[in-house]
A and B are shown apart, each in its own frame.
Chain A
Amino acid sequence: MTATLTAPGALRADDGRLVLEVAGVVDEVPGTRTLVLRRPGGGLLPAHPPGSHVVLDCGDRRNAYSLTGDGSPCEEYRVSVLLCPDGEGGSAFVHRLAVGDIVSASRPRSAFAPVSTARHHLLVAGGIGITPMLSHARAAVRWRRSFELLYRHRPGAGAHLDELRGLCGDRLTAYTSTPEMLAAVRAALADRPLGTHVYVCGPTPLIGFVEETAAELGWPGERVHAERFSADLDAGEPFTAVLARSGSRVPVPSGTSLLTALEQAGVAVPNLCRQGVCGECRVPVRSGRPLHRDLYLSETERAAGDAVMCCVSRSVDDELELDL
């Protein structure tokens, strides 16, 4: 996963952030660089569920990168970063790092963990979306969980492909053709044991295909898990945030996020990714219907309507009353 963040200026106190040294740089395939990160003096790093990410300081921005290890306690983290020449500069920053450089990262954050009660895990990866799946596959091998991995990559540019072949054996099927990959995904979704969970990470169209095909084939949403690179959002309609405790009213114009409007009004809200991914900026709602646009809240939490992720979500009604 690679979520790009926009405004690093207003971050909360950085208690517990990790200071890490670049201990190795590996160019997996052209355009994809793996960083090996360790504590400068050595020592164990926090364990994490498979599929977790860290939020890395990348110069003037912060990006979330999946950890590719299995999550058990170890002395190094690895992230693999695809260079996006047209991006906001975070991946370019990572690609400029050299052995010995010091970086700051959040502790691991889990938003894409395997379901422990699953009978079988169907992993679907497109491109650099392989990174959380590598973590899942490693953990599945370690804990002898039943799994399979379908991986679409560009010809000659399959990040971690050799490693995955060794790890997964015949449980890995790699594709360089999108139609073949989608046909294989459909065939898998059409016939898997009850108790299977499917996990997908990759480009938005791949995630959309998995979600739509799964729904068509009778998969309840609870069995389908997606890790998106970021939310893709329009400017939204203007509305007013009513702060119940102070009684103040904060206008939120089109093109300005609720979080930004609150910050400009002097209201500090803990936040991290500002992309609707991390769950840090959750704000309680007293009245009014939230327009949920985040990727964090579950369907049940959305339906309850009593909380909103203020970095991306807005209001259906003209006013949204917040418990602030």
Chain B
Amino acid sequence: MGAEHTSVPRWGSEWPAPDPSARTVLLVGFGARGCAITAAWAADVPAGRPVEVLAADDADESVLAVLTARIAGARVGWRLMLAGPEDDVLAARAVALRAGVLDAEIRCAVTSTDRKRVYCPHCRATTTTTAPVAGETPCEGCARRLHVYAHVSRRAGAYLGFMADAEEVA
């Protein structure tokens, strides 16, 4: 699959700005760099629009649970802005997309793409790795050697892995 057709996100070199049409905004920062960006965003949101800022080390279950609760209570006009490493941003974005938030309502700033979440379709576990696209990582669920494929699932917020030597004769 050619690079021009990959589903791996291209985040752009500049952070997006808050959507001027937003009526309320939730900012979620992951890690120190992510939280620095959300602080700058909070200052840029037009006056009079309620802003909530969440700071987290990473996109763990407790943060994602808070995000889910905020989405459940949100009204149309609400916007989500995510800042931090790609794996955390993708995980949080996946929660939002699954809850019916539109791409037009989400803006992301990615501070690093070193760490990846790789989904294993053989055992359905998700492994965090620093392997590059087209590299390999052992699956934390089934220990298979996974090829990190140039495909990112929006719904799962993870790269697709598959058994690296699946076609070799044992």
Interface residues of A (CB under 8 A from B): 117-119, 189, 191-196, 215, 217-223
**Which label, helix, strand, loop or mixed, suits the secondary structure of the B interface?**
loop
Q: Determine the chain B residues whose CB is within 8 A of the CB of A223 once the complex forms.
A: 76, 102
Q: Determine the chain A residues whose CB is within 8 A of the CB of B103 once the complex forms.
A: 222
**Which label, helix, strand, loop or mixed, suits the secondary structure of the A interface?**
loop
Q: Judge whether B104 and A218 touch: CB under 8 Å.
A: no
Query: With A and B bound together, what is the CA distance between A221 and B104 in angstroms?
Result: 8
Known: A117-B100, A118-B100, A194-B101. A218 touches B21 (CB 8 A): yes
Q: Judge whether A219 and B100 touch: CB under 8 Å.
A: no
Known: A218-B21, A218-B23. A192 touches B102 (CB 8 A): no
A186 to chain B, nearest CB (A): 13
Count A-B contacts at CB 8 Å.
46
Query: With A and B bound together, what is the CA distance between A223 and B99 in angstroms?
Result: 15
In the complex, per-residue mask of B66-82: 1 if CB is within 8 Å of any chain A CB, else 0: 00000100111111000
Q: Determine the chain A residues whose CB is within 8 A of the CB of B79 once the complex forms.
A: 218
In the complex, per-residue mask of B1-43: 1 if CB is within 8 Å of any chain A CB, else 0: 0000000000000000000011100000000000000000000
Q: Judge whether B23 and A193 touch: CB under 8 Å.
A: no
> What residue of chain A has the Cβ atom nearest to residue B104's Cβ?
A220
Q: Determine the chain B residues whose CB is within 8 A of the CB of A220 once the complex forms.
A: 21, 102, 104-105
Query: With A and B bound together, what is the CA distance between A266 and B166 in angstroms?
Result: 56
Interface size class of B (residues with CB under 8 A): 10 to 19
Q: Determine the chain B residues whose CB is within 8 A of the CB of A219 once the complex forms.
A: 76-77
Query: With A and B bound together, what is the CA distance between A192 and B71 in angstroms?
Result: 13
Query: With A and B bound together, what is the CA distance between A193 and B70 in angstroms?
Result: 11
Q: Determine the chain B residues whose CB is within 8 A of the CB of A196 once the complex forms.
A: 76
Query: With A and B bound together, what is the CA distance between A218 and B24 in angstroms?
Result: 9
Q: Determine the chain B residues whose CB is within 8 A of the CB of A118 once the complex forms.
A: 100
B120 to chain A, nearest CB (A): 27
21 A-B pairs within 8 Å (CB atoms) are namely A118-B100, A189-B76, A192-B75, A193-B76, A194-B71, A194-B78, A194-B100, A194-B105, A195-B99, A195-B100, A215-B21, A217-B76, A217-B77, A218-B23, A218-B76, A218-B77, A219-B77, A220-B21, A220-B105, A221-B104, A222-B104
